[in-house]
């Protein structure tokens, strides 16, 4: 379901305070193998940083993904890049049945990282004059707010969809998502249920992280272009950047091509837990907010091109790095157009996390591209309240500065 500002946002300020756990969760019983399998050796490589630059801390990164699979994750794929140097690493297993080593080129469900693709398409359309960020959504799609609900909503600027200030409430989904993992829920149905609830606040007053604004953005892109959202994203971003692993599966529950299996820890009637394979899952209801499948290599190319001004023209790219001014007395904004701002030491990072069952991921970069990070962790509780410990260790290690590996 959609998240809000009150829901956990896996921010780097939380990660810096992280201390690694000293033991595995002994109570976890793996339904497929009966026990935690022996750790698979990590595959890593490093490229020395240019002279005068601080290279990624290879030792810390190797330690961060050491010992997989464990109770928290079955695999991890990591790419640290930027002008300060690069590091690549993978660890864990492809699956818990064969215990083959994890495929470092495996595809995965990118979750809410999809939102940055959606934001980029919308900002391209704004640059082309096809979409006015100051005009209300009602101008483009008046039928969404049909009687009697139309009178409840103030005009919602397109910009407020991008920066999570629209006031739209979360749309309804399946109560038991796992039981309905092969069923199709159309985004139009999700949007209709959200609008039926009425607004939570006036546009621009508060910022709440939710999927719904980006679901509407996907429909808006289709309205403006007369084309499917998936095709627009492919033609405008995936094809020009040659992202061969990146696509929208729609109602297809499979991950096509090479991928590592995803697992979710589920409670059993006797109080124990077991891991259930959740690799196959129809995510079409996530649409422009979370239906993307990609790889760490593709997402690194996308991240570096985006921050380098190659995807969105610079004037519109500023929208991603601009925090909106909210109403007095409410928490300050932390998101621009999709991206979240986090200051760590002297560095400012802009990032977006994304999680679907079996997979938790991130793209992040300093604004000047000196350090980028992309990871995908096969988390056993990817939608849980707390950030995955393996992911925490990766981010903490990626922030470290080392003169040489």
Share of the chain above pLDDT 90, in %: 78
Q: What is the DSSP letter of 13?
A: H
CA nearest to 117, candidates 247, 30, 6: 247
Place of tokens 């609008």: 195
Kindly state whether residue 2 falls inside one of the protein's structural domains: no
Give, as one character, the DSSP assignment of residue 370. S
Say if residue 35's pLDDT is above 60: no
340 sits in which H/E element: strand 340-344
Count how many residues are written for the chain: 405
Summarised one tens digit per residue, pLDDT across range 252-293 is: 999 999 999 999 999 888 888 899 999 999 999 999 999 999
Domain total of the chain: 1
Q: pLDDT tens across 107-151, in order?
A: 999 999 999 999 999 999 999 999 999 999 999 999 998 877 777
326 part of a folded domain: yes
Q: What is the CATH number of the domain that holds 36?
A: 3.40.710.10
Residue 3 is assigned to a structural domain of this protein: no
Using alpha carbons, select from 266, 269, 280 the residue that is nearest to residue 180.
280
Instruction: Identify whether the C-beta of residue 12 lies closer than 8 Å to the C-beta of residue 395.
Output: yes
Beta strands at 347-356 and 340-344: parallel, antiparallel or unpaired:
antiparallel
Q: What is the mean pLDDT of the chain?
A: 88
Share of the chain above pLDDT 70, in %: 86
Task: Specify whether the CB–CB gap between 108 and 298 falls below 8 A.
Answer: no
Query: Count of H helices and E strands in the chain?
Result: 12, 13
Tens digit of each residue's pLDDT (9 = 90 or more) over 181-211: 999 999 999 999 999 999 999 999 999 999 9
Whether 373 is in a domain gets the answer yes
Separation between Cα atoms, residue 227 and residue 360, nearest integer Å: 30
- 305 domain residue, yes or no: yes
**Domain presence at residue 6:** no
What does the pLDDT look like over 54-104, one tens digit per residue?
789 999 999 999 999 999 999 999 999 999 999 999 999 999 999 999 999
Phi-psi region of 226 (alpha: psi -120 to 50; beta: other; left: phi over 0): left
Residue 383 lies in a domain: yes
Task: Answer yes or no: is 4 within a domain.
Answer: no
Cβ atoms within 10 Å, residue 198:
12
Residue 362 domain boundaries: 12-402
């Amino acid at each position: 379901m959609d998240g809000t500002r009150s829901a956990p946002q896996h921010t780097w300020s939380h990660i810096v305070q992280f201390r690694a756990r000293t033991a595995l969760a002994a109570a976890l019983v793996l339904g497929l193998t009966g026990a935690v399998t022996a750790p698979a050796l990590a595959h890593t490589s490093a490229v020395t940083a240019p002279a005068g630059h601080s290279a990624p801390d290879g030792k810390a990164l190797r330690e961060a993904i050491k010992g997989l699979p464990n109770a928290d994750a079955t695999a991890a794929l990591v790419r640290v890049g930027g002008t300060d140097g690069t590091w690549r690493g993978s660890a864990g297993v492809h699956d818990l049945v064969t215990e083959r080593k994890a495929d470092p080129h495996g595809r995965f469900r990118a979750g809410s990282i999809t939102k940055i693709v959606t934001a980029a398409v919308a900002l391209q359309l704004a640059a082309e004059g096809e979409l006015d960020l100051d005009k209300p959504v009602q101008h483009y799609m008046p039928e969404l707010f049909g009687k009697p609900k139309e009178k409840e909503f103030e005009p919602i600027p397109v910009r407020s969809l991008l920066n999570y200030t629209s006031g739209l409430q979360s749309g309804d989904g399946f109560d038991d998502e796992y039981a309905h993992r092969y069923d199709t829920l159309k985004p139009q149905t999700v949007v209709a249920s959200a609008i039926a609830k009425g607004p939570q606040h006036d546009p621009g007053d508060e910022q709440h992280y939710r999927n719904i604004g980006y679901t509407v953005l996907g429909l808006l892109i289709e309205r403006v272009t007369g084309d499917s959202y998936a095709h627009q994203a492919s033609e405008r971003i995936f094809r020009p950047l040659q992202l061969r692993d990146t696509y929208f599966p729609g109602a297809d529950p499979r991950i096509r091509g090479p991928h590592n299996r995803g697992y979710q820890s589920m409670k059993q009637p006797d109080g124990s837990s077991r891991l259930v394979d959740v690799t196959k899952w129809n995510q079409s209801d996530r649409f422009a907010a979370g239906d993307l499948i990609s790889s760490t290599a593709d997402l690194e190319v996308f991240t570096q091109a985006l921050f380098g001004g190659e995807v969105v023209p610079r004037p519109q790219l500023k929208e991603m790095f601009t925090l909106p001014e909210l109403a007095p007395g409410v928490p300050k904004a932390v998101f621009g157009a999709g991206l979240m701002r986090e200051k760590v030491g002297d560095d400012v990072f802009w990032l977006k996390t994304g999680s679907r069952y079996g997979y938790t991921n991130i793209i992040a970069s300093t604004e000047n591209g000196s350090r980028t990070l992309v990871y995908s962790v096969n988390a056993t509780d990817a939608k849980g309240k707390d950030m995955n410990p393996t992911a925490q260790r990766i981010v903490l290690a990626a922030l470290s500065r080392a003169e040489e590996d």
